[in-house]
Amino acid sequence: MRDYVRLEVRRTLRDPGFVIFSAGMPVLMYLLFTNLGAADDGAAAWKTTAMVGMAAYGALGAAVSVGTGIAEDRSLGWLRLLRITPMRPRQVVLGRAVTSSVTVLPAILTVLAAGALANGVRLDAWQWAVLVLLLWVGTLPFTLFGIGNGYRHSAQTAGVLNVATLMGLAVIGGLWFPIEAFPGWLRAVAEYTPAHGFAELGWATTDGHAPGLTTVAVLIGWLAVFGSYAVTSYRKSARTP
Amino acid sequence: MSVEGAVKSFGAVRAVAGVDLDIARGETVALLGRNGAGKSTTINLLLGLDEPDSGRVRLFGDTPERAVRSGRVGAMLQDGGPIRRATVGELVSFVASTYPRPLPVAEALRLAGLTELAARRVDKLSGGQWQRVRFAVALAGNPELIVLDEPTAALDVEARRAFWASMRAYARRGNTVLFSTHYMEEADGNADRIVVIDHGRIVADGSGERVKSTVGGHLVAFDLAGRGTEGLGTLPGVVSVEVRGDRARLRTDNSDATVMALVGLGRLKGLEVAHATLEDAFLALTQERPAEERVTKPKETV
């Protein structure tokens, strides 16, 4: 399976679309959002908040895009070809999830690097380490969501669905603009969305405390929902190859 | 490898309608049939990609799934486009790595004629080159049984010749090969045994010679000269009667007796006796006609 992951990671990182959307765009948006307009007292805090938000956004995009790849491979007969190798179907799905966990890293690291180097964000060493770790682990529900889409839909549908979901979740989760700016009712909803919970892991870290129990519970809930979505999609596609 | 009474339907279509087939180790077998005859479905059943509705499939005495898991099977499927953003070398190395006793990657590439293309990306190859990659993928694991579904469909004449040379070299190592084709000459030239499949059933099974004799080994043709075809079908040796323009073409398994009978009838104008080609045999076997009239042979295990 190591060889499978290596092959899939290479294939993903060679995709210019993937690199631009998952790493290039978030960095660019981060630098724009934090450097346009007048610098005021809140600027330093906003640079940190936006850094976490955009790293989360990039990681999320990289995670769901695994689904587009799966749908594409399915239409090309690649998954059928894998079925006549000694690899087990389970290893294929797992390999894909592991691949995705590798390919989300550039998205996280480039935005954090931009924060530290270009925007002068200063955190303790442990905060950087925990930040990378939590943002990395926290992508799992979104990877599962992407896998579910990939096994259920055509490459085109999966792609559109992934991008639409990504944008929607990013906006309502406060990854682009803080949810403090939302009207009260929307804010209440936003707090229970998966992307917000995900970014909250990072914001808690930059604030120097552990994430709240609600945040963790919300994320575990979404993990369960997307996990079963991935499993049922995979089963469904296995029945109709 | 054995298939017993396999049936597989897709909706109302019976793609495979009761196939019995045994293949011994080391045999090279051609599965011959028209498009839609049931070749690919048979192959998918063999590889465990589809489950038969009824009947049983065994590879090396085990389920197809387990035989595939143990790395004894390699295959080249008919469908399947090039995956994106991987090189030929990466793809073949990866597939080889999933098998317990693979061929050295360089050898798999050489056998498929891909040595020069190893660093090229598979999504940048021509159709014929991609087909060779699929052959390399089938060989990479050094499987004992290799299954090739229409392996030469996109190849030009030269590439086709090179392909068959590699395939025969692989078979000579004691490996079993099953390939499907709708080209008669390919089946005759490269297989020890030909299995003709039509409407989801096996209609002939044996060497090229036997398949020919199943439908009548000779073709006797003569000018009708305005006279009808009445009674021709019951002449000694005659298997089938066909009229083309003003000529009658009798397929016969005893050309001497047929010609003697024609002499008796005085119908000798433009008489011609020829060996039936495999192409003729194939056409005769796969003509549209009711199942009970079709030439069937008892199952033969080699």
Residues B235-264 pLDDT 10s:
888 888 888 888 988 888 888 889 999 988
Average pLDDT for B267-290: 74
The burial of B268, by beta-carbon neighbours within 10 Å (0-12 exposed, 13-18 middle, 19 or more buried), is given as exposed
Give residue-wise pLDDT tens across range B142-201.
Answer: 999 999 999 988 788 888 999 999 999 999 999 999 999 988 888 888 999 999 998 888
* Whole-angstrom distance, CA of residue B138 vs CA of residue B119: 19
Predicted complex ipTM? 0.84
- Are the beta carbons of A84 and B97 separated by less than 8 Å? no
Residues of chain B with Cβ-Cβ distance to A76 below 8 Å are 80-84
Across the A:B interface, residue pairs with CB atoms under 8 Å apart total 69
User: Edge-to-edge strand order for the sheet containing B193-198?
Assistant: B73-76, B145-149, B176-181, B28-32, B193-198, B201-206
Whether residue B109 contacts residue B166, with contact meaning beta carbons closer than 8 Å, is answered with no
Segments in chain A below pLDDT 50: 241
Task: Check B141 against A72: CB less than 8 A apart.
Answer: no
Amino acid in position A11: R
Are residues B68 and A85, on separate chains, in Cβ contact within 8 Å?
yes
B63 vs A contacts (CB less than 8 Å): none
Neighbouring-strand partners of residue B24: none
CB-CB neighbors (< 8 A) of A88 in chain B: 69
Residue B55 CA to residue B42 CA, distance in Å, equals 12
Mean pLDDT, rounded, of chain B? 87
Chain B residues inside the 8 Å CB shell of A87: 98
Residue written as tokens 């392909």?
Answer: B163
CA distances from B270 to A11, B224, B237, B252, B260 (A): 67, 9, 20, 17, 15
Tell me the mean pLDDT in the region B267-286.
79
Q: Mark yes or no for CB contact A85/B95 under 8 Å.
A: yes
Whether B132 contacts B105, CB under 8 Å: no
- What pLDDT sits at residue A201? 94
* Chosen from B57, B95, B101, B122 to mutate, greatest number of chain A CBs within 10 A: B95
* pLDDT recorded at residue B218: 84
CA atoms within 13 A on the CB side of B252: 26
Q: Does B85 touch chain A (CB under 8 A)?
A: yes
Give the separation between CA A137 and CA A104, rounded to whole angstroms: 10
Does the pLDDT at position B300 exceed 50?
no
B52 touches chain A (CB under 8 A): no
Q: Does B74 touch chain A (CB under 8 A)?
A: yes
Return the residue of B nearest to A69 by Cα. Answer: B84
Q: According to the 3-state scheme, what is the secondary structure of chain A?
A: CHHHHHHHHHHHHCCHHHHHHHHHHHHHHHHHHHHCCCCCCCHHHHHHHHHHHHHHHHHHHHHHHHHHHHHHHHHHCHHHHHHCCCCCHHHHHHHHHHHHHHHCHHHHHHHHHHHHHCCCCCCCHHHHHHHHHHHHHCCHHHHHHHHHHHHHCCHHHHHHHHHHHHHHHHHHCCCCCCHHHCCHHHHHHHCCCHHHHHHHHHHHHHHCCCCCHHHHHHHHHHHHHHHHHHHHHHHHHHHCC
CB contact (8 A) between residue B85 and residue A11:
yes
User: What domains can be seen in chain B, in order of their start residue?
Assistant: 2-205 (3.40.50.300), 216-275 (3.30.70)
Say yes or no for a CB contact (<8 Å) between A84 and B79. no
- Whether residues B49 and A3 touch (CB distance < 8 A) is answered with no
Return the percentage of chain B with pLDDT > 70, whole number.
93
To 5 degrees, how large is the angle CA B148–CA B150–CA B151?
A: 65
Which of left, alpha, beta for B280 (phi over 0: left; psi -120 to 50: alpha)?
alpha
B226 pLDDT more than 90: no
